[in-house]
Amino acid sequence: MITVDKLIFEYPGLRALDDVSFRINQGSITALVGPNGAGKTTLLRCMAALDRPVSGTIAIGDIDVLEQPRECHRVIGYLSDFFGLYQRLTVRQCLHFVARAQGIADSECPAAIHAVCRRLHIEDRLEMRPGELSRGLRQRVAIAQAIIHKPSLVLLDEPASGLDPEARHELAELFLDLQRQGMTLLVSSHILAELEAYCTDMLVLRKGRLVEQVAVKQTQQHQSFKLLLAQAVPNLADILTRLPEIELLKAEHDRVAVIQLSADTQEQHAVLKALLELNLPVCEFAPATRNLQDAYLQTIRQRP
Ligand SMILES: Nc1ncnc2c1ncn2[C@@H]1O[C@H](COP(=O)(O)OP(=O)(O)OP(=O)(O)O)[C@@H](O)[C@H]1O
């Protein structure tokens, strides 16, 4: 569990983080979103023990980040929004340097480099210098540097910026792979459409304040379904609320509804059968995915 409590950070004359509190579950992938200047980079830097807040606490498991910055660096991986790579070193030398700096024994470095390069599909670039690589490959080397010591929490600031759609897709796959290995990820990004593919949670920052924390993925026991009728049926909401297996979340114009059902597919089939037996002209009955971009825009517009 990562806990941030009542965090305040100030640059001279500017409060960049104002009483920010949240919790992140282990094994989650959380999107950190918000308009330019909202405080995302500042928050990530504080969590990485690179900047010191005025007040508040940050805990990564049982490590107090402000009190134990060195211990914190051992368990986190951090990718800065404007990362740099040593231009005169080869990829292998860059990774060896970072591995040693992270305290990996010299004799264990080749195995650590091999493992991380295999995961990031850059094994064939080890003897090249960063200047000879495309932006997407340089990004991979930078991520390899950030995770070579197998951190439990990875903080990534705008990792997808400047990447083409294919590279962004591969990045999403990589994040899911890291999650499967047991890592927790906090990813700041403006590309909301893609965050949806891998995020379990979303934190929305605005003007230094946390305005929303959303669980993006549905719970295991229940699933939201969208129901669309070919034509309107009077009192649709009343008809649906009478069915015991359904929890009505939303009904509009007697024609569209969002309902919550059991995640059990047999029970979902039984509900569809019951709807048809009521002679409802169902033309769409499908899982309703929560649109991250809509949720974000709604949040940002709602708050003054
Ligand atoms: N070194 C600094 N000195 C003074 N003010 C700063 C400094 N760095 C950031 N700020 C200000 O702090 C606020 C938060 O900046 P931050 O970079 O954390 O936002 P952000 O959400 O990451 O923005 P973006 O999406 O544009 O990267 C902004 O108003 C910014 O101008």
**CATH for 222-296?**
3.30.70
pLDDT higher at 129 or 248: 129
pTM, rounded to two decimals? 0.79
Task: Considering the chain, tell me which residue range(s) the CATH 3.30.70 domain(s) occupy.
Answer: 222-296
Mean pLDDT value of segment 208-212 = 90
Strand order of the β-sheet with 201-206 is: 76-79, 153-157, 184-188, 29-33, 201-206, 209-215
The fold of the 2-215 domain, in CATH, is Rossmann fold (3.40.50)
Task: Report the distance separating Cα 71 and Cα 38, nearest Å.
Answer: 28
Q: Whose CA is nearest to atom 29 of ligand 1?
A: 37
* Residue 220 predicted with pLDDT over 60: no
DSSP secondary structure string, 198-214?
A: T-SEEEEEETTEEEEEE
* Residue 255 predicted with pLDDT over 70: yes
Tell me, what's the pLDDT at 119?
86
Mean pLDDT value of segment 104-114 = 96
Q: How far is the CA of 278 from the centre of ligand 1 (A)?
A: 57
pLDDT higher at 36 or 290: 36
Contacts of 260 (CB under 8 A, 6+ apart): 222, 223, 224, 225, 246, 247, 248, 249
ipTM value for the complex:
0.97
Pocket test for ligand 1, best of 8, 9, 14 (most atoms within 8 A of CB): 14
Tell me, what's the pLDDT at 291?
64
11 C-beta closer than 6 A to ligand 1: yes
User: Confidence class of residue 218 from pLDDT cuts 50, 70 and 90?
Assistant: low
Q: How far is the CA of 81 from the centre of ligand 1 (A)?
A: 12
Task: Report the distance separating Cα 155 and Cα 96, nearest Å.
Answer: 21
